Structure 1
């Protein structure tokens, strides 16, 4: 059995399988049916050869390759026959295929006729089809044309060498057919796997450069042969090809620019784009993305952090690339850009521009985050102030209000009883004294709620030591508290000082009441512009701490001044750590 028969059987299997996949997709059903029949005929022809039915095998091969395969391509991605041109092409392909099947001598000329008709079909389908049809047709057309060019080039080399370098061209031709059905599957099932327009651009550029290089080499060698009267020797020919190779890369760059401009429009100059972006980036990420997208002529750009899109510009596309946004060693987010039509990846110039502007975008992202944090901090401050005012109003109305009203009424009653019943008046004055003392105590409580007096009298260190000396454990024994505070603490704001004091007091109170602790340690020190507070006790707890009112109060006080707090049970006892910015 010859190699071309084995290859024909393999191509038949690939073609039939491709037709089945296309059929399952629910699209291009006519093309899928033709592919499956063509594959079945190719495999059947191989089987007929095995049983020595060569005439029937040849007919099956011609029917599969010259009739059904062209019909599959004509019906891809949809069968059109109602308009005049489509009807004429259908008649030509069916007639040419039937003629090639019935009259083997016409196979080659009918092959040219059918090929020309299929090229016209591709052009007409591009003109009249939808964008989805065009994308699928691009995959198919690119594959068939590339396969044809490769086989034609190998035939040219074989003929030029004159020694049958590629004596099995029939086998290569049959093998190249398998590329088409596979590309038809991709065009229907996964056309977005890569931007096929980028493949077209590269194929056009590579083919043009290759043909130009080959033509120049053959032309110069022919001129030398005509002038000298003998063929060019191997060494000079190799040197000539080496010299011509220096022009391959410049020609590629030039042709890529020309093809890009013809097919997709102008591309930006990287240096000018970077300058434009740097001049236009501000504090708004959306405006910064607009500047990036317009300068690089990109269809889409967005900034993400934590999987959430913070800002976007343009229309989202299928093919994107992602670059991290870093400030120093910290990654603050990522920028996602959509690839332009015809690009398989970002060009080196585009990547250079994005690397230049990435720190600016990261700064913009950081500025927005700081602005958001500042706004939330202001809102929290305003909320806290309003809540404090509401508490004061409630305490004054419900506490001092009735007390002072009672004092006023008792004063009037004492005046009325002063002359007629001095004993009763004296009794009222005694009650008045009691109510006044209660009012004074309530005022003191409110004042201490606003700011502990000990802070103004003793300072933060003295106030903490004074409070620590008054604590007792749950068993009634004094709680031994060691206070280790830097004597050279910088001047603290009133809010930070109150927050630090309240956190220490609450942490020590929890240790005395709930942790069954006998000793505790309080440390305060300054680290990197932060007041770091740590309260440790030797109380043991087998379960994790459940946040209560006291713990929530400590956390809220730390957050109000922009700090953090962590409270946890460790193997050695309880630990409360707070970090408050100076």
Structure 2
């Protein structure tokens, strides 16, 4: 099997498989059908060559290469024939392809016609298509044009260098053409696998730099040889090429921005981009990043917080720019944007747009964080409620339930003994009285566990003073406690009162149990719509406090109502401070 035949069979297999993959995606069905038919026809042509069927291979291969494959490109990413330009192009491609199949001598001329028609189709489709169509066309065009240029350019270089052992250029050209169908699959199935704009820019810049380098090198070498009248030796040629190589990098940098602008147009107007983003950024960070990328034509954007990527859009690139997201003096995260191909930084206009929309992105991020915090808070509240219900059920079942059952049994026994044995009935009634008193005590304990009665009877300040009057130090002497309330407290919600009372009681209990304090001080005042309380004692401690059950319980009570709490020991004594939102008054 000759190299050209093997390359043709390879192209047929790749084309057929590519058409099948596009068909599976549900898009570009006409293009997929033409690719499958074209690939199968190429394989049939190869089979005709192998079987040595005279007169069959040539028209079959021309049918695939001049009609079916061009139709696949023309119908990609969607077939449009109702518009005048598209209809004319369809007629031209079908006519030129059919003429090439029927009349072999017109093959070369019709080849130029087909290439010209397909280039016009690409230009027209890029102008009229939407974002997805343009991305798919960019992939397809990059592959087909690169394949069409690569092999002839390699042949030119080999001929210029006088290389006679270069591989068969026809086979290489046919094999490289397989890039086209593969790129068509990528353009439909995974167009964002990499930034295709960057690939196009790099390919055009690389091709331009190579052509310019070769042209300058060949031109200078020819000029020197013409002036000297004899060929240039190897060493001066190498030195000349090395000197010219220093200009490759500056030329690349110069061409990147120019080529990107020529191919893809000017950058968006900053004011228009900022206005568009302000209208489109919502509560979803992913949608907000999509809006940023589309408005600024960026390959990648993401939002990070605490080193974690919360949302991203596009394909990650090597070169990025990081901008902080701030709300007031707080930094809530950062936005990372990928630089366009050929850019070494964001333009001043792009940075202005990002600075304008950064507060909106920060608000989106803060809203997301607040939503998560609210969800966690709800879960904690539900867990606390369920835990309280479980405690009540256990106390009622294990404590009050048996007591009341005993009361019922004792009542029945007393009724049975009231006539036959009055003394025993009287003893049962005495026991019944004791059990009833015990049940009442248990009920009061349960009620006080839900909400201390002193809060309803005396208010928060009075309840704290009442509890403070009952405290005794470790030595058994009363512990003096000063309760300071500079001004009358406003109406507080039930949750705020209970949380504040429990925190103060637990803090004073810790003073009695764990410190050698001779005095404690409790202060309450309202500041910034919060009830601020502090419990101090004079029991100095050389070592800091190790958080135990008491401190953990106080902190949990404060967090449950949206407050904060700090507790620490100093050489002068201990301090517990809490700030609890006032909440809606009842």
Q: Per-residue deviation at 1:407?
A: 0.3
Q: Which runs of 4+ in 1 moved over 6 A?
A: 82-85, 127-141, 146-150, 170-173
Residue 536 (str. 1) matches residue 536 (str. 2): yes
Q: Is 2:541–2:572's contact at 8 Å kept on the other side of the alignment?
A: no
Partners in 2 of 1:179 and 1:327 — Cα distance? Answer: 52
Gaps of 5+ in 2: 1-149, 165-175, 184-195, 224-234
Residues 108-123 of structure 1 aligned to structure 2 (within 5 Å): none
Per-residue CA deviation, residues 73-101 of structure 1 (Å, 9 max, x unaligned), is: xxxxxxxxx978646634643669xxxxx
1:347 is matched with which residue?
347
1:40 is matched with which residue?
none
Q: Per-residue deviation at 1:459?
A: 0.7
Q: Per-residue deviation at 1:328?
A: 2.0
Q: Is 2:503–2:554's contact at 8 Å kept on the other side of the alignment?
A: yes
Q: Is 2:321–2:336's contact at 8 Å kept on the other side of the alignment?
A: yes
Partners in 1 of 2:492 and 2:213 — Cα distance? Answer: 77
Partners in 2 of 1:273 and 1:137 — Cα distance? Answer: 28
Residues 103-252 of structure 1 aligned to structure 2 (within 5 Å): 142=209, 174=239, 177=242, 180=245, 202-204=253-255
1:100 is matched with which residue?
none
Partners in 2 of 1:372 and 1:492 — Cα distance? Answer: 27
CA 1:273 to 1:137, structure 2 compared with 1: closer, same or farther past 3 Å?
Answer: closer
Residue 468 (str. 1) matches residue 519 (str. 2): no
Q: Per-residue deviation at 1:260?
A: 2.6
Q: Is 2:209–2:252's contact at 8 Å kept on the other side of the alignment?
A: no
Q: Per-residue deviation at 1:144?
A: 10
1:78 is matched with which residue?
none
Q: Is 1:286–1:313's contact at 8 Å kept on the other side of the alignment?
A: yes
1:569 is matched with which residue?
569
1:486 is matched with which residue?
486
Q: Per-residue deviation at 1:304?
A: 1.0
Q: Per-residue deviation at 1:358?
A: 0.8
Residue 93 (str. 1) matches residue 158 (str. 2): no
Partners in 1 of 2:444 and 2:389 — Cα distance? Answer: 17
Partners in 2 of 1:137 and 1:201 — Cα distance? Answer: 10
Q: Per-residue deviation at 1:486?
A: 2.8
1:240 is matched with which residue?
none
CA 1:143 to 1:86, structure 2 compared with 1: closer, same or farther past 3 Å?
Answer: closer
Residue 321 (str. 1) matches residue 310 (str. 2): no
CA 1:271 to 1:149, structure 2 compared with 1: closer, same or farther past 3 Å?
Answer: farther
Per-residue CA deviation, residues 360-414 of structure 1 (Å, 9 max, x unaligned), is: 1111112222222222222221221111111111111111111000000000001
Q: Is 1:471–1:478's contact at 8 Å kept on the other side of the alignment?
A: yes
Aligned residues: 398
Partners in 1 of 2:252 and 2:151 — Cα distance? Answer: 31
Partners in 2 of 1:541 and 1:147 — Cα distance? Answer: 83
Per-residue CA deviation, residues 199-226 of structure 1 (Å, 9 max, x unaligned), is: 6565248xxxxxxxxxxxxxxxxxxxxx
Per-residue CA deviation, residues 5-47 of structure 1 (Å, 9 max, x unaligned), is: xxxxxxxxxxxxxxxxxxxxxxxxxxxxxxxxxxxxxxxxxxx
Residue 300 (str. 1) matches residue 368 (str. 2): no
Residue 364 (str. 1) matches residue 364 (str. 2): yes
2:140 is matched with which residue?
none
Q: Is 1:144–1:179's contact at 8 Å kept on the other side of the alignment?
A: no
Partners in 1 of 2:207 and 2:245 — Cα distance? Answer: 6
Gaps of 5+ in 1: 1-81, 97-123, 157-169, 184-195, 206-255
Q: Secondary structure at the match of 2:385?
A: helix
Q: Secondary structure at the match of 1:268?
A: coil
Per-residue CA deviation, residues 436-465 of structure 1 (Å, 9 max, x unaligned), is: 011000000000000011111111111111
Q: Secondary structure at the match of 2:558?
A: helix
1:411 is matched with which residue?
411
Residues 25-104 of structure 1 aligned to structure 2 (within 5 Å): 86=154, 89-90=157-158, 92-93=160-161
Partners in 1 of 2:252 and 2:152 — Cα distance? Answer: 32
Greater mean alpha carbon deviation, residues 448-457 or residues 128-137: 128-137
Partners in 2 of 1:136 and 1:569 — Cα distance? Answer: 68
CA 1:464 to 1:203, structure 2 compared with 1: closer, same or farther past 3 Å?
Answer: same
**What's the TM-score once normalised by structure 1's chain length?**
0.61
Partners in 2 of 1:92 and 1:176 — Cα distance? Answer: 15
Q: Secondary structure at the match of 2:364?
A: helix
Q: Is 1:565–1:579's contact at 8 Å kept on the other side of the alignment?
A: yes
Q: Per-residue deviation at 1:277?
A: 0.7
CA 1:579 to 1:390, structure 2 compared with 1: closer, same or farther past 3 Å?
Answer: same
Partners in 2 of 1:444 and 1:496 — Cα distance? Answer: 22
CA 1:201 to 1:262, structure 2 compared with 1: closer, same or farther past 3 Å?
Answer: farther
2:126 is matched with which residue?
none
Q: Secondary structure at the match of 1:526?
A: strand
Q: Is 1:302–1:312's contact at 8 Å kept on the other side of the alignment?
A: yes
Partners in 1 of 2:450 and 2:441 — Cα distance? Answer: 14
Residue 286 (str. 1) matches residue 289 (str. 2): no
CA 1:178 to 1:144, structure 2 compared with 1: closer, same or farther past 3 Å?
Answer: farther
CA 1:140 to 1:572, structure 2 compared with 1: closer, same or farther past 3 Å?
Answer: farther
Greater mean alpha carbon deviation, residues 174-183 or residues 390-399: 174-183
1:52 is matched with which residue?
none
2:395 is matched with which residue?
395
CA 1:382 to 1:299, structure 2 compared with 1: closer, same or farther past 3 Å?
Answer: same
Residue 521 (str. 1) matches residue 521 (str. 2): yes
Q: Is 1:535–1:577's contact at 8 Å kept on the other side of the alignment?
A: yes
1:420 is matched with which residue?
420
Per-residue CA deviation, residues 44-68 of structure 1 (Å, 9 max, x unaligned), is: xxxxxxxxxxxxxxxxxxxxxxxxx
